[in-house]
Structure 1
């Protein structure tokens, strides 16, 4: 596959880029790490109690019962055939870094407006929750963010999806405060009027999603907002259509080769309309 034109992105992005596309860019070392045990939690209401691990030797299996023979090995956690397999190809990985393995969606610009003053922030922690009735998106935005007060008071925002050619600007937006600088003017983003919310659209974005706060019950505990998209826009004229994704450590990956597997999604045909 020929290498596409090199995008205008910082060096740390270029070094991650490969002509093999997403299959190479998103390769993750197969690692595991066991978090420290904090005891056994009680069963949830309505759930059967957890089975206690056997402390005595299990009874002898019946002749010819291979499954029972496997189950009698070790402490009963795994069949003998599984217990004998090596995990030497895995290496420990800190649970506190697992967000780097669970790559979220594309890096976003969050547009808000309070008292007639618009602001922008960069966000990498978000996820879709449901497709319809209504569509919902979860967003991580805490009191440490200047945009928090605007979202809390107005209950509105715009999720703007930038192309990878804007990566440098988007990262810079996330490394300064709207308390000190007008980010729209400083980084050359164009505010456009939205139809359903007061926060402006971002004129240079690939797409913009106008949102209202649907549920804020987890905001105080987790900084997690549940948003309902009420209007969405896509810029069909934009040439650079690849997005970029934060790996959680200051490095990013760019969308690469796409895979069309719709014919295999037999259980989810209704999502392809």
Structure 2
């Protein structure tokens, strides 16, 4: 099978998001200049660099998370896990403006050390971020539509030490989840080690 995306695929559901998977989930907590808190998941999310630690999330549509990131220059990424999956899914709902997803889900907002937005206390790890760039995402025709990417530097990292094993973060214990297209997710339940031939120590 071959198809051009603009011509359609003829399948019941778009296979693109299932093929580009698993995708880590950026569970973004943010706060507006007016003090309104927002919490929402983004699967167009990933790390960009290790030194310094840089990451991105991209929004299809000008939603609260990207608006807050543009207004304040800050946000927090909270690790998405299987025990928190139901709450994470609830935060994907299109709530009315001004609704605090922490209140709706019963999650605990915890203060951050550097940024103003709260983090999810129940999450095994959270990354405090400061925006370095806001990038309109163009297609081949130069059209950006409502696609906006926020690039940010991680300025603070919170880790629940219960998930540290021999000095390493244990994704299996944390039960990290990822998006796999359609309504499918996967959970980290098994790991294997394969050091690079020229680098034996993990990075």
**TM-score, with normalisation over the residues of structure 1?**
0.60
Matched-pair contact (CA < 8 Å) for 1:33–1:93: no
Once the two structures are superposed, residues 87-130 of structure 1 have per-residue CA deviations (whole angstroms, 9 ceiling, x without a partner) of xxxxx989x53221111443232100112222111111111111
Deviation at 1:209, TM superposition (A): 0.3
Deviation at 1:186, TM superposition (A): 1.5
Residue of structure 2 in register with 1:113 after alignment: 31
Name structure 1 gaps, 5 residues minimum: 1-31, 38-91
Deviation at 1:218, TM superposition (A): 3.0
- Which residue of the other structure, out of 48, 59, 66, is the alignment partner of 1:129? 48
- Which residue of the other structure, out of 10, 17, 20, is the alignment partner of 1:99? 17
Once the two structures are superposed, residues 53-112 of structure 1 have per-residue CA deviations (whole angstroms, 9 ceiling, x without a partner) of xxxxxxxxxxxxxxxxxxxxxxxxxxxxxxxxxxxxxxx989x53221111443232100
Counterpart check, 1:35 vs 2:4:
yes
| Distance in 1, Cα, partners of 2:96 & 2:80 | 19
Q: How many residues align?
A: 185
Residues 1-16 of structure 1 correspond to what in structure 2 (within 5 A)? none
Matched-pair contact (CA < 8 Å) for 2:27–2:39: yes
Deviation at 1:141, TM superposition (A): 2.0
| 1:227–1:104 Cα change, 3 Å | farther
Once the two structures are superposed, residues 143-188 of structure 1 have per-residue CA deviations (whole angstroms, 9 ceiling, x without a partner) of 4322222111001000000320111111111013251532111111
Residue of structure 1 in register with 2:182 after alignment: 249
Task: Select the structure with the greater relative contact order (CA < 8 A; seq sep ≥ 6).
Answer: 2
| 1:131–1:113 Cα change, 3 Å | same
Matched-pair contact (CA < 8 Å) for 1:127–1:139: yes
| Distance in 1, Cα, partners of 2:15 & 2:131 | 29
Residue of structure 2 in register with 1:236 after alignment: 161
Bigger radius of gyration = 1
Residues 146-161 of structure 1 correspond to what in structure 2 (within 5 A)? 146-161=64-79
| 1:178–1:267 Cα change, 3 Å | farther
Counterpart check, 1:202 vs 2:133:
no
Structure in which a larger fraction of residues adopt helix: 1
| Distance in 1, Cα, partners of 2:136 & 2:160 | 33
Once the two structures are superposed, residues 209-241 of structure 1 have per-residue CA deviations (whole angstroms, 9 ceiling, x without a partner) of 011111113368341111111111111236951
- Which residue of the other structure, out of 77, 80, 83, is the alignment partner of 1:162? 80
Residue of structure 1 in register with 2:197 after alignment: 266
**TM-score, with normalisation over the residues of structure 2?**
0.79
Q: Secondary structure at the match of 1:179?
A: coil
Matched-pair contact (CA < 8 Å) for 2:130–2:152: yes
Tell me how large the CA RMSD over aligned residues is.
Answer: 2.8
